[in-house]
Amino acid sequence: MKNDRENFKTEFKLRIYRWVLELVKFLDGLPKDIISQKMVDQLFRSGGSIGANYIEAQASSSKKDFINFLHHSLKSSNESKFWLAVLRDTGRADRKKANCLLQELTEISKMLGASLLTLKGKR
């Protein structure tokens, strides 16, 4: 059981990391106008925060801290979905690429949410 949990943590951490790498590539290709760059900045912050908070959760010293970091990761994920959708829907980003990132981010969000429910004993 512990091995399965450790494997999940490792795989999930890598999945988030790969998503952030894809996000960086995506952001590099966006227009350089002022409005686009402000959205790029927001999306980079929130997108990077998903992974950073997940890593912090792994190093937390208590269950409460672990839950708190996961919660921040989920909140950042939700914010990132918003900015990706805005970039897509304003035509600043390639629709197909944005949708691929959104699809993976939705899956990551669901896993974070399910983990939080389990940890809080609501599942």
Place of tokens 């929130």: 46
Mean pLDDT over the full length of the chain: 95
* Residue 72 pLDDT > 90: yes
State which residues form the domain around 96.
Answer: 2-119
Percent of the chain past pLDDT 70, that is, above it, reads 98
Question: 116: which DSSP letter?
Answer: H
Provide the number of structural domains found in the chain: 1
Element counts in the chain: helices (H) and strands (E): 4, 0
User: Which CATH number fits the domain that encloses residue 7?
Assistant: 1.20.1440.60
Helix (H, G, I), strand (E, B) or coil at 59: coil
pLDDT band (50, 70, 90) for residue 121: confident
